[in-house]
Amino acid sequence: MTTVASDDELSLTFAALADPTRRAILTRLTAGDATVGELAEPFALTQQAVSKHIRVLQRAGLISRSKVAQSRPCRFEPARFDEAAEWIGRHRQQWADRYDRLDEHLAALRATARGDEKDGDA
Amino acid sequence: MTQAGEFTYRRVHQASRELLFDCMTMPEHLTSFWGPDGTTTPLDGITVDLQPGGRFETVMVNRADGSQYTMRATYLEVSRPERLAWIEADVEGGMTTTITFTDLGEGRTEVITHQTNVPQAYSSPEARRGFETSLRRFDEYVTALASP
């Protein structure tokens, strides 16, 4: 299922990625699903601390947790990440368009300046 | 050099640095080009308090349905005509935009727009393919920022 993330959801995504431990957790999950216990091991964190990070990542839509096994392994969900990347693309485009319009504005200013000169000469 | 965690947009315009700086900071200019296509940026919706800590706000109005979007920013650096920077505190925990104006001679000016606080992993499809590498580089970038 494809859902379009709102700006608020994207903010959650960016906020979730602003923490080095959560990025490390995501990095680990790109290699394959893992349980909270497996994720806690390399970070010298308690399972409780990892669980907290997991909840933030889950809220941000960056990971999901299986309901099948009792250990409820975590899985990286690339969809929201792709949406965030697409957002950046749009953002760049906004600047490209803005500077296009600025060029038109500058051309208009030059045309006006030339017009004024002519008026002055006349 | 483009650091991890920022994206850069470069343009060359046929105008002086002073004029370009004024275009980006004077409501009379901004109203002509600021908002996205399909919107207007009315003069009375533009607030410019051109000093560090001063407000920079623009209300953009959708031509089709009249709906409004307000950009709220605070100036971080105002150095006419070399550099202009502001931060949008509400966007992704603080989106910083820095615009640098460089004189290329013959009336041409290079305008470089940096936006930071964008995770490196997001900045290009290529970077995205190397998701793991990108996250690690972003880590290093943030770490470098945090060190004195």
Inter-chain contact A101–B32, Cβ cutoff 8 Å?
yes
Q: Residue B137's pLDDT band (boundaries 50, 70, 90)? A: very low
pLDDT of residue A103: 96
Q: For residue A20, say if its preceding peptide bond is cis, omega within 30 degrees of 0.
A: no
Model pLDDT for residues A33-42, shown as the tens digit of each residue: 999 999 998 8
Greatest mean pLDDT among A21-35, A82-96, B82-96 lies in: A21-35
Overall pTM surpassing 0.80 (yes/no): no
User: Is residue A27 within 8 angstroms of chain B, CB to CB?
Assistant: yes
Q: Do B57 and B109 belong to one domain?
A: yes
Domain total of chain A: 1
The string of DSSP codes covering B75-94 is EEEEETTTEEEEEETTSTT-
What is the domain count for chain B?
2
**Looking at residue B109, what is its pLDDT?**
93
What's the distance, Cα to Cα, between the start and end of chain A in Å?
69
Does residue A50 surpass a pLDDT of 50? yes
* Cβ–Cβ under 8 Å, residues A58 and A64: yes
The token pair that represents B8 in the structure block:
């850069």
3-class SS of residue B119:
coil
Q: Do B10 and B62 sit in the same domain of this protein?
A: yes
- Residue with more model confidence, B104 or A85: B104
Phi, psi (rounded to 5 degrees) for A27: -55, -45
A2 domain residue, yes or no? no
User: Domain containing B57 — which CATH number?
Assistant: 3.30.530.20
Query: Which of B40, B108, B135, B136 is the best mutation test for A, with the most CBs of A within 10 A?
Result: B135
Residue B79 lies in a domain: yes
pLDDT 10s digits, B15-30:
999 999 999 999 999 9
CB spacing of A105 vs B33 below 8 angstroms: yes
